[in-house]
Chains A and B, each alone.
Chain A
Amino acid sequence: MTLASALQVLADVRGEQVVVTTMSAAREWMSQSDHPLDFHYVPSTMGGGFSLGLGIALARPDHEVLVLNGDGCLLMNLGSLVTVAVSKSPNFTGIVIDNGNFETTGGQKLATADSPIQLADFARAARFESVCEFDSLPAWKDGVAAALAQPGPRCIILKVTTVPGDHALKPPGPMPARITAFQTALNRS
């Protein structure tokens, strides 16, 4: 399963959820979605995606919030799993793109790359209401709707393979204008 194919599955079932993206997931999601409730957290503080998404989820309990975050990002801020789980926000879904490397900086291995550590175990230990893992495209296609229908907060791990190429991040425009557009969309929906 590639990142592009994994996110296309999500794009196909996405409704009116807020989608917060960071790093490689942001780059890919920008090419697949142009929804007013997308917030591309680029540039971000690495590892801040779950925290920012939790803030939106707490502020707007009337909206489902999906956060697309990398495995390197999550490892930089493992405490955010605890903060999200303790919040018991039913409208929060954290989706972790697990490719075992820092894709945007050239594919260097993560600290966990040669270890048996599974990110899903951290989420389970933090007591997320639901934790799902998918390591193939057919399984993800079959399971996406059920995974998103589980009680929240949810954590979904997508194991993807890295595709060679230019993975540089390009901010999609001035941040203040993007924030204004996002807040306007949030207030209208």
Chain B
Amino acid sequence: MILGNQIETTVSELGTTHVIWLPDTTLGQWEEALERSVSFDLLRVCREGEAWPLAAGLFLGGKSPLVMMQSTGLFESGDALRNVLFDLKLPLFALIGYRSYLVEDSADTAKKFVEPILDAWGIGYELINGCDDLPKLVDHYRACQVAGKPGVGLIAEGAM
């Protein structure tokens, strides 16, 4: 389990200026730590489709935004993601809550489709299964930045 202060420290280390989020049960436990951060601003959106163009605008304005949402939000915001990452070609990074990943034999379709969809988009991802994996997240983020490509950190979660 990743604690709020651990993710806040990691996200700060990435040079993030704004976290744009729509939380779920797991990510939501980070709210207090993210809101308290002096390194970045926490921006709340009403639906995940807003998050990508909002991040795009921040990036155009010279900032370093990071998007956080659950896998269901990834599905919901597919067109916005497509436009921002592939039409505008912006190297944005997202942390996506991988709902039900930790539930063996889960029939949750939100689990079933995450990796195939990221593969279909051609977005590189790393599975982050606990705080010991946070260095992997940092490495993946930096590799994406160097390559000028978007990327995703998949945060392993239990059931909804």
Q: Do A and B come from one complex?
A: yes
A residues whose Cβ falls under 8 Å from a Cβ of B: 20, 39, 43-49, 51-60, 77, 79-80, 82-83, 86-87, 175-176, 179, 182-183, 186-187
Stretch touching chain A among B2-10, B40-48, B114-122, B134-142 = B40-48
| Chain B: number of interface residues, binned into ranges | 20 to 34
Q: B46 contacts A59, CB within 8 Å? A: no
A43, A55, A77: the one contacting B57 at CB < 8 Å is A55
Cβ–Cβ < 8 Å partners of B62 in chain A: 59-60, 183, 186-187
Q: B49 contacts A52, CB within 8 Å? A: no
Cβ–Cβ < 8 Å partners of A52 in chain B: 53-54, 56-57, 60
Shortest C-beta distance, A65 to chain B (Å), equals: 8
Cβ–Cβ < 8 Å partners of A86 in chain B: 44
Cβ–Cβ < 8 Å partners of B44 in chain A: 83, 86
Cβ–Cβ < 8 Å partners of A39 in chain B: 60
Cβ–Cβ < 8 Å partners of B80 in chain A: 45, 48
- Since A79-B47, A87-B43 are in contact, a sample of 16 more A-B pairs with Cβ atoms closer than 8 Å, ordered by chain A residue number, is A48-B50, A51-B53, A55-B59, A55-B63, A56-B61, A57-B57, A58-B58, A59-B58, A59-B63, A79-B50, A80-B46, A82-B46, A83-B54, A179-B89, A182-B60, A186-B60
Shortest C-beta distance, A66 to chain B (Å), equals: 13
Across the interface, name the chain A residue whose C-beta is closest to B82: A45
Across the interface, name the chain A residue whose C-beta is closest to B90: A179
Q: A83 contacts B46, CB within 8 Å? A: yes
